[in-house]
Amino acid sequence: MRPVESILNIAAYRFVSLSDAADWRESIRSQGQALQLKGTVLLASEGINLVIAGAESAVREFMAWLRRDARFATLEFKESLSEAVPFKRWNVKLKAEIIRMNHPAIQPQARRAPAVDAATLARWLSSGHDDNGRSVVTLDTRNAFEVDHGRFKGAIDWRISKFSEFPQALLAHREALLDKTVVSYCTGGIRCEKAALFMREAGLEHVFQLDGGILKYFEKTGGTHFDGSCFVFDEREALGPDLAPAVA
């Protein structure tokens, strides 16, 4: 049964070349203000990353408006409902990267690492191996404090404090992963995109990213094989497998 809350929260990203990011900043700022939305939109030459909330009709109007541009036509939104807007203001920012890695050679807007969907990962974790019989490990690419709220059972966690530390951590542990199928994951998928490409660059052959991240996994599987909740960067703090605010 659908909850009665009327506030719709959405999260989305897309790596796509945006030579007109500055123009988009002004358009998105105006559109969001007109619809009384709250949240943050990050824009860079490599794409868009957003987490926003508002009245459901307003958010859906914004989603439809954004998708009118061919570059955002296939933008996938992860949705959840809440009783109140979990953001205080409306921010649209220009950045060098929509998720900072400090590794310019990694360009997801040009190529994407292979992805595995939620149902397939759940099946692999249930069987303990992938479809080729290779041992599967999940690799958490989030910051340590996020992991502490919840993670996949047995997931690898290198206790990084920011995503730009991931490349160095991967190189330090590379040898232990060579014979494994590695599935990188994060909150909504954006960090996995760069992490999986970096692992490929580092010579790991059997690497996948979890398509849509933990939030999409919760939506599609109900959180099987996942312990705890998923930290989110808003006033709700963490969501449970039902995508409702987690009980402390």
Asked if residue 52 lies in contact with residue 60, where contact means CB atoms within 8 angstroms, the answer is no
Sign of the Cα torsion 43, 48, 53, 58 reads positive
Residue 230 among the catalytic residues? no
The two beta strands, 181-185 and 207-210, are parallel
Q: Report how far residue 210's alpha carbon sits from residue 197's, in angstroms, rounded to the nearest whole number.
A: 13
Residue 116 β-bridge partners: 210
Catalytic residue from among 48, 51, 160, 186? 186
Active-site residues: which are they?
A: 186
